[in-house]
A and B are shown apart, each in its own frame.
Chain A
Amino acid sequence: MWHIYLPIAQHSVLLPVIIGLGFVVGLLSGLFGVGGGFLMTPLLIMIGIPPTVAAASDSNQIVAASASGTYAHYRLGNVDIKMGLYLLIGGIIGGTGGVQIIKVLRQMGNADFLIQITYVVMLGTVGTYMFIESLQTLRATSKPVVAQVEHRESVYARLVRDLPFKTRFERSGIVLSPVVPLALGGFVGVMAAIMGVGGGFIMVPVMVYLLRMPMHVVVGTSLFQILFTCANVTIMQAHSNRTVDFVLALLLLVGSTVGAQVGARVSKRLKGDQLKIFLASIVLLVMLNMLFGLFHHPHSLLSYYGGD
């Protein structure tokens, strides 16, 4: 009675488990502006969904969750559409390049190693940096400000300052050359293609630390960008690999769309740095899990091709 059959995964699943998973990941999506692919795909694999189907179907449900989340954040004035479009264009160009890099690496036979190491390094770096930085800010704001410390301008800051074609991004309240979001979007696109994820957990720190956008605008804008990225991935996966399971995606999105709305409301009540510490903790947990997987003897040394 509680089981439902997935036509592409060719596997039966428990309804409450899938809807519950969708809700939890949707909640994170609404809270942090991440698609949640880096979390959902391993969880789906754990309950027996073939890895390729898990990743592709997750992209499909992220379309719904990010549409719901983007709409909620847009009403709150938290979506910088102009910035999102520049990042998206950069992401598409970078993603296309990343796919070519993976093709070359696969021919050389080192792709899987690179993907896993990239995951661990990226998750570890992003998670640790966000965690420490947010913790320091939270501690600093709890103490009275005694004096303003003058920072020396970094090479990155000077480079960004000297770039031409500056334009104002109203929602984010910053003036910046479009070259910066295009280049950073491209970088995230390359990483996302290599790692096979939407890239939200890289995009969020990029927006916060490199584009200096306010955290609440970061969440809405990231969801806006993820919406288009995942729509593209869903169509490509359905067309090329036949791995999108619509029934699985539908069940996940029943939970995730509601979760995203709840997450967007909860995020209003939390401080930006509290949000960052939560996200950093989740990113670090996923990284530790992957690291454990690299050292731990697998149950079977064989896995279906395209799985991991």
Chain B
Amino acid sequence: MARKAIMLLVVGLAVFCAAPSAGAGDIDLEISPRGVRIGSFFAGSTIELSGFADPSVDVVIEVLGPQEDALFHLKGRVGPLWMNVAEVDIKYTPHLYLLLTSNDMPSGEGLEEFGLGLDHIETMMVVHPASLDKDEIFEQFLKLKRSQELYAEHYGSIGYDPPIDGRRGFHAELFLPSSTAPGVYRIVATGLDEGRVVDKTVQDLWVAEVGMIKVIHDLAVKHGLIYGVACVIVALIFGGLVGVIFKRAGTH
């Protein structure tokens, strides 16, 4: 009996020592709201992020959209003209990528070594054909994504509160543009302290179409032919109605 008790004590101590103690790097992350509804008048959405971490920990937040594998045209010069010269298959990149840091980290330099930042996204990216210059392709990919507001870095956008009871509150706002696609997004808060990752917390954020937008999207995707015929019929009726209205207006 005594032997069993000692064993339990040893195992308990081992577990206690191995787990990071509260306040020694643990990050609590809250997101509000937890989901985004895309309705008829959706024009983007603001998400509030907040939480607590150890005062010595610097928090970096990433928002990663669903994985997107897509085919692109690559333009190049043919004589004096800019033409599509190749097709490029880009895989394992997120549809959306937003990076938020505090004032303590005014640039993204060095984040890659912690598996963070745009450099890390490039590391994960697979380009086909492989003969293409991956750095150049990523640079062009970034330009395209940035122009759609889908990739962005917001340095210094995380604010800290004064520490209370050995914990420091942090807060940030992020804006999801209207081109945000439906799906499950991952919000990853990473704690950095003395040049190492001390904790990583992940929360899911869902983005979903609702109401008439969902009905139209589903009909277009699942019943394309019926949807196409319906679009033509409505257009014909609408065009005809306007014609009749103008005819009446013209006769009075």
Flag if B147 contacts A63 (CB, 8 Å). Answer: no
Q: Place the interface of chain B in its size category.
A: 35 or more
Contact of A238 among B225, B234, B243 (CB under 8 A): B225
Chain B residues whose CB sits within 8 angstroms of the CB of A253 once the complex forms: 235, 238-239
- A191 CB → nearest B CB, Å: 20
CB under 8 Å from chain B, chain A span 221-249: 231, 234-240, 242, 244, 246-247, 249
One of B9-17, B106-114, B163-171, B214-222 contacting the partner: B214-222
Chain A residues whose CB sits within 8 angstroms of the CB of B214 once the complex forms: 7
Contacts A112-B73, A300-B143; is A238 near B220 (CB within 8 Å)?
yes
Flag if A63 contacts B81 (CB, 8 Å). Answer: no
CB under 8 Å from chain A, chain B span 175-213: 178-179, 181-182, 209, 213
Q: Does A27 contact B (CB under 8 A)?
A: no
A77 to B214, CA, bound (A): 44
Flag if B242 contacts A244 (CB, 8 Å). Answer: no
- B223 CB → nearest A CB, Å: 9
A294 to B77, CA, bound (A): 9
Contact of A305 among B72, B216, B236, B242 (CB under 8 A): B72
Q: Which residue of A lies closest to B224 (CB)?
A: A239
A8 to B21, CA, bound (A): 49
Q: Does B115 contact A (CB under 8 A)?
A: no
Contact of A300 among B147, B213, B224, B229 (CB under 8 A): B147
A260 to B245, CA, bound (A): 13
Q: Which residue of A lies closest to B227 (CB)?
A: A238
Q: Does B7 contact A (CB under 8 A)?
A: no
A116 to B214, CA, bound (A): 36
Chain A residues whose CB sits within 8 angstroms of the CB of B216 once the complex forms: 7-8, 246-247
Contacts A71-B240, A75-B247, A244-B227; is A297 near B82 (CB within 8 Å)?
yes
A236 to B88, CA, bound (A): 27
Q: Which residue of B lies closest to A296 (CB)?
A: B82
Contacts A295-B81, A302-B73, A308-B84; is A5 near B41 (CB within 8 Å)?
yes
Chain A residues whose CB sits within 8 angstroms of the CB of B243 once the complex forms: 67-68, 71-72, 257, 261
Flag if B80 contacts A63 (CB, 8 Å). Answer: no
Flag if B39 contacts A5 (CB, 8 Å). Answer: yes
Q: Does B228 contact A (CB under 8 A)?
A: yes
Flag if A60 contacts B235 (CB, 8 Å). Answer: yes
Chain A residues whose CB sits within 8 angstroms of the CB of B140 once the complex forms: 300-302
Chain B residues whose CB sits within 8 angstroms of the CB of A308 once the complex forms: 73, 84
Flag if A3 contacts B231 (CB, 8 Å). Answer: no
Chain B residues whose CB sits within 8 angstroms of the CB of A242 once the complex forms: 220-221, 224
Q: Does B128 contact A (CB under 8 A)?
A: no
CB under 8 Å from chain A, chain B span 65-107: 70-76, 78, 80-84, 87-88
A129 to B224, CA, bound (A): 41
Flag if A11 contacts B235 (CB, 8 Å). Answer: no
Contacts A71-B240, A261-B242, A261-B246; is A12 near B181 (CB within 8 Å)?
no
- B126 CB → nearest A CB, Å: 15
Chain B residues whose CB sits within 8 angstroms of the CB of A302 once the complex forms: 72-75, 88, 137, 140-141, 143-144
CB under 8 Å from chain A, chain B span 137-164: 137, 140-141, 143-144, 147-148
Contact of A250 among B229, B234, B244 (CB under 8 A): B234
A299 to B141, CA, bound (A): 11
Q: Does A298 contact B (CB under 8 A)?
A: yes
A64 to B250, CA, bound (A): 20
A11 to B178, CA, bound (A): 5
Flag if B225 contacts A294 (CB, 8 Å). Answer: no
- A42 CB → nearest B CB, Å: 16
Q: Which residue of A lies closest to B146 (CB)?
A: A300
Flag if B144 contacts A66 (CB, 8 Å). Answer: no
Question: Which has the most chain B C-beta neighbours within 10 Å: A60, A68, A116, A301?
Answer: A301
Flag if A238 contacts B228 (CB, 8 Å). Answer: yes
Flag if B224 contacts A246 (CB, 8 Å). Answer: no
A48 to B244, CA, bound (A): 34
Flag if B70 contacts A5 (CB, 8 Å). Answer: no
Q: Does B123 contact A (CB under 8 A)?
A: no
Q: Does B124 contact A (CB under 8 A)?
A: no
Q: Which residue of A lies closest to B218 (CB)?
A: A7
Which chain B residues have a beta carbon within 8 Å of chain A's beta carbons?
38-44, 70-76, 78, 80-84, 87-88, 137, 140-141, 143-144, 147-148, 178-179, 181-182, 209, 213-214, 216-217, 220-221, 224-225, 227-232, 234-236, 238-240, 242-244, 246-247, 250
**Can you list 15 contacts pairing A with B, beta carbon distance less than 8 Å?**
A7-B209, A60-B235, A63-B232, A67-B236, A75-B247, A231-B232, A238-B227, A239-B224, A249-B235, A257-B239, A260-B242, A261-B246, A294-B82, A299-B143, A303-B84
* 10 nearest A-B pairs in the assembled complex, by CB-CB distance: A238-B228, A67-B239, A12-B178, A71-B243, A3-B43, A64-B239, A257-B242, A305-B71, A64-B235, A235-B228
Apart from A249-B231, A302-B74, A302-B144, list 6 A-B contacts with CB within 8 A. A10-B182, A61-B235, A72-B243, A240-B224, A253-B235, A302-B73
